[in-house]
Structure 1
Amino acid sequence: MPEPHKDERPKAEKIAAEIRKLIMSGDWAPGKQVPTNAQLRAQFATSNVTIQRALQILKDEKFLEGQVGVGVFVRGELAQTIQPAHYIAPSDPGQPYRWLSEAAKRGQRSKYRMLAVRETVPPVEVARALRLEEGGTAMLRSRIGYLSDQPAELVHSWYPMELAVGTRLADRRLIPGGSPALLEQMGFPTRSQDDAVAARPATTEEYEALEIPRDVPVLEVFRIVYSDDDKPIEVTLLTKPAHRFKMGYHIEL
């Protein structure tokens, strides 16, 4: 029989993981004062130094906030659940992209900042999803989305060149109503999408663009959007900081 897999992480990291779960689940509510060091020492049967290290990890990750002379408190907001289904349908004519309008409903300020728009040979998984020939190119649109002035998502979207050339998809400016509205106007309405969700360490690009603290992972969504006849019209790689967001799905049977 193989040896059981043991948690060999330092004690402080294991304690930080336990507290992090309490915060992410809402068991430790936003604004809650963290128990005293003496209480935490007793709870986790460890030293004061180890507790201080665990709390510092969580402060660096923005889960905890220290107030001089008062104590340590849970950050002021829960992890936000994002429902991808809210953004599938194109915006109504003259209305902003649904990601922006949904943020407004939650009382959040939102905006996108374009990073790049260019023709490129996409990664293998993107080329495969777009059904490109070997060496084929696609139009890449890269941008950062902000919620209440904090970077919330890094988005890379690829489009078939035959759809993009000569359209706003090839323009560095933001697209009024977003790409779903433009594609529908072009005769390619969204009919379905496939999402593959993963968690992984951040790349340098993601770490810097999303202002990720310490070793917090990112949530990755690899999305393929289809139009009529199962034609792939968009492939998107979207990453979000995992300490601030959850992905939510509602399924009716």
Structure 2
Amino acid sequence: MPVTRLGRGPKYQQIADALRGQIEDGTLGPDAKLPTEAELQAEYAASRETVRKAVGLLVSEGLVISARPQGHFVRRRQPMVFRPQAEFRKRPYTPEMDAFMTEYSAEGREPRQEIEVSIVEPPAEVAKRLHLEPGQLTAVRKRLRYLDGEPFNINDSYYPLELVRESEIMRPEDIARGANEVLAELGYRQVRALDELYAKMPTPDWTRRLELVPGTPVIYYITTGFTDAGQPVRVVQNVLPGDRHVISYERRREAESSES
């Protein structure tokens, strides 16, 4: 590749790198308007098509948003901190709001979620984790969570239908004390969870539900909850867009036992 004052690689990539650098160092701050196409053409001696390709790359990375006809703006990024270790903590939440609603309302943000409940034949990966036989059905609570009007993540929970058929889990509304507590009241308290995290590209369904721009990767975080007897009773599929989340794990070193 030819070498230019911008560095190596195709011209559109060089322009995108330069603009990305300005975003990262704060020269172009949140909500700042990018130079117009004409200004970028003049500054980088590039064609209109090349400039559009460079800006499109930044849009696909989630760094820039298009607000036609005003132009392109640096995206104000306020990622959601996702804490898997908080699932089994005590929940002193209000009757009106569950964990998600309570936590992010306290941060001054505007959370909301859409909940759908249905009875389905589970995906193969869910049936496998729940140790279900062919033909056994699950209840699924599908939740699409929003922050400040933007869809932030998917949280779909599957339960063996025979365990939860007559419970609150079947209602499409918030459960303030948490579905885990409902399971415990039914005699299936979860005491252990297996977490699996995968980095991947989204499915068409995830792209549609989360309104993702092309090229946005996601973290697919799947959790299986077990009772003390080792029975799997819940599988949760979380889909976390990479441009909207920070996953925070808290770890504590256990005290070392001294030998006499």
- Tell me the TM-score normalised to structure 2 length: 0.74
Question: Residues 82-97 of structure 1 correspond to what in structure 2 (within 5 A)?
Answer: 82-89=82-89, 91-92=91-92, 94-95=94-95, 96-97=97-98
Amino acid in the other structure paired with 1:241 = P
Per-residue CA deviation, residues 34-67 of structure 1 (Å, 9 max, x unaligned), is: 69848984xxxx8465354212332355422579
What does residue 99 of structure 1 align with? 100
Distance 1:245 1:222 in 2: 16
Distance 1:53 1:150 in 2: 25
What does residue 211 of structure 1 align with? 211
| Displacement of 1:138 | 1.6
What does residue 258 of structure 2 align with? none
Find the residue that maps to 1:198 and give its secondary structure: strand
Q: Is the 8 A contact 1:91 1:180 kept in 2?
A: no
Find the residue that maps to 2:229 and give its secondary structure: helix
Gaps (5+ residues) in structure 2? 1-8, 254-260
Question: Residues 69-88 of structure 1 correspond to what in structure 2 (within 5 A)?
Answer: 73-88=73-88
| Displacement of 1:135 | 2.9
Find the residue that maps to 1:243 and give its secondary structure: coil
Distance 1:138 1:21 in 2: 48
Q: Is the 8 A contact 2:139 2:170 kept in 1?
A: yes
Distance 2:115 2:246 in 1: 24
What does residue 187 of structure 1 align with? 187
| Displacement of 1:94 | 4.6
Amino acid in the other structure paired with 1:212 = L
What does residue 5 of structure 1 align with? none
Cα 1:39/1:179, change in 2 over 3 Å: farther
Cα 1:157/1:65, change in 2 over 3 Å: closer
Find the residue that maps to 2:190 and give its secondary structure: coil
- Tell me the TM-score normalised to structure 1 length: 0.76
Mark the structure with the bigger radius of gyration.
2
Gaps (5+ residues) in structure 1? 1-8
Distance 2:147 2:207 in 1: 17
Find the residue that maps to 1:131 and give its secondary structure: coil
Find the residue that maps to 1:249 and give its secondary structure: coil
What does residue 110 of structure 2 align with? 109
Q: Is the 8 A contact 1:144 1:155 kept in 2?
A: yes
| Displacement of 1:113 | 0.9
Find the residue that maps to 1:252 and give its secondary structure: coil
Q: Is the 8 A contact 2:192 2:228 kept in 1?
A: no
Distance 1:63 1:126 in 2: 34
Identical columns (%): 24
Question: Residues 8-19 of structure 1 correspond to what in structure 2 (within 5 A)?
Answer: 12=12, 16=16
Cα 1:145/1:67, change in 2 over 3 Å: closer
Distance 1:67 1:208 in 2: 20
What does residue 132 of structure 2 align with? 132
Find the residue that maps to 1:115 and give its secondary structure: strand
Pairs aligned (count): 238
What does residue 237 of structure 1 align with? 237
Cα 1:93/1:102, change in 2 over 3 Å: closer
| Displacement of 1:227 | 2.5
Q: Is the 8 A contact 2:80 2:245 kept in 1?
A: yes
Amino acid in the other structure paired with 1:222 = I
Taking only aligned residues, the RMSD between alpha carbons, in angstroms, comes to: 3.4
Distance 1:101 1:113 in 2: 15
